[in-house]
Amino acid sequence: MRHLYTLAWRFLVPLALLRLIWRSRREPLYRAQLAERLGCYGRKPDATRTGHPVLWLHAVSLGETRAAQPLLDALRQQHPGMQLLLTHMTATGRQAGVALLREGDVQAWLPYDLPGAMRRFLLRFRPHLGVLMETEVWPNLAQVCAALDTPLLLVNARLSARSAARWGAWPSLARIAFGSLTAAAAQTQSDAERLRRLGIDDVCVLGNIKFDRVSNPGLRELGLQWKLQAKRPILLLASTREHQGLAEEKLLLDAMPAELLQRVLLVVVPRHPQRMDAVHALLQAHGLKVVRRSDASPRADTQVWLGDSLGEMPAYYAMAEAAFVGGSLLPLGGQNLIEACAEGCPVVIGPHTFNFTHAVEQGVAAGAVVEAGDASAVWSSLLAWLSDARSLERARCAALQFSAAHRGAAEAQAGWIGQYLPVRLA
């Protein structure tokens, strides 16, 4: 089965490279260092020459890169001499990852999951330990690490029942991918049980490090400034996505009460930067007066403010009375609702939350999160808060308390990772 998997990758790689070039029209970073996608790194600096342990951390995209910050802070505090090799697969992840680097650290693309490319990657950088964030398990990567005696950990690990079933359909490939991992630190007991069934022998439960991301005072102040400029209540549609040609923004706009924009400013922040133009056109097609964040602050006659900036999500949450968090009206599993709660922004979320099942359950129990079955129910829940100041204030306090109550996973996972990290080399 692994040979068929590898053969499929060999056919797909040319298409994957063409797709990167296509996407680079709007996100030029996808054109950068294309050879790295095949495991060719040229003269890139080598962190292994420092004489300190080299930890390789893979954060595939923006969400995982943001989540990695408290983990890296804790690791650096516990292991001051540690050198970081940081890899990604998406442009947004790589762009955000720059802020996580320190002197002597190295950033690169992780190659596609071909045995030769993965072997070249590991022999080029020779990390003492590999750490994969959340769900990034690749069969050839895991087997090459095992062959080269490079310990490979899965941290902040989550595995939905849906994903576990997909892996279960390919048991021999799952045994290679998961059985070759050294150990895993799962977010919940349910995640741990699924990971064990797929072949990881050593699994512990250490919580979700997304609760540990510290609020940025500068971004929070920026959001509060925007709120003052708006001079009216603000509702946020955050991390909205599309699936099979259907956009969550369209579902929400079609269900939006006609009188809503007479009393609120609607802020829309799509999950993926390449969708900004399409979402802008969709908003205008609905006859709305739209201003982009990159062009101007919201004016008195602005009905919709389109958040087309990168790295300012906490500011958008800080400005809003309440937010819908996307990826959940369509079967995409939901996006990070914890980031909203950390800014005191209560959340409405759709029915598809398999990526955040436990966090949603906890948030609902705390009074910080409301589940909505469809787009109409999203607006009903948001407007219920706007119509009841006391209820909204209780939800805002509940959001802050919910996010604070579950902190500590980053320090725990850093301590667990440290068991596999060698002491300073002579």
Task: Decide: helix, strand or coil at residue 165.
Answer: helix
DSSP conformational letter for 261 = G
Annotated catalytic residue 36 = no
Which of the residues 27, 36, 64, 242 is marked catalytic?
64
- Which residues, in sequence order, are CB contacts of 36 under 8 Å at separation 6+? 108, 109, 111
Q: 419 is written with which tokens?
A: 């068991």
- Which residues, in sequence order, are CB contacts of 404 under 8 Å at separation 6+? none
Helix (H) or strand (E) holding 69: helix 62-78
Provide φ and ψ at 306, rounded to 5°.
Answer: -95, 115
Among residues 137, 157, 155, the alpha carbon closest in space to that of 146 is found at 137
Query: Cα–Cα distance between 191 and 185 in angstroms, integer?
Result: 9
Residue 267 to residues 6, 97, 146, 359, 408: CA-CA distances in angstroms? 44, 26, 47, 24, 32
Residue 261 to residues 114, 256, 300, 305: CA-CA distances in angstroms? 51, 9, 12, 12
Catalytically active residues, by annotation: 64
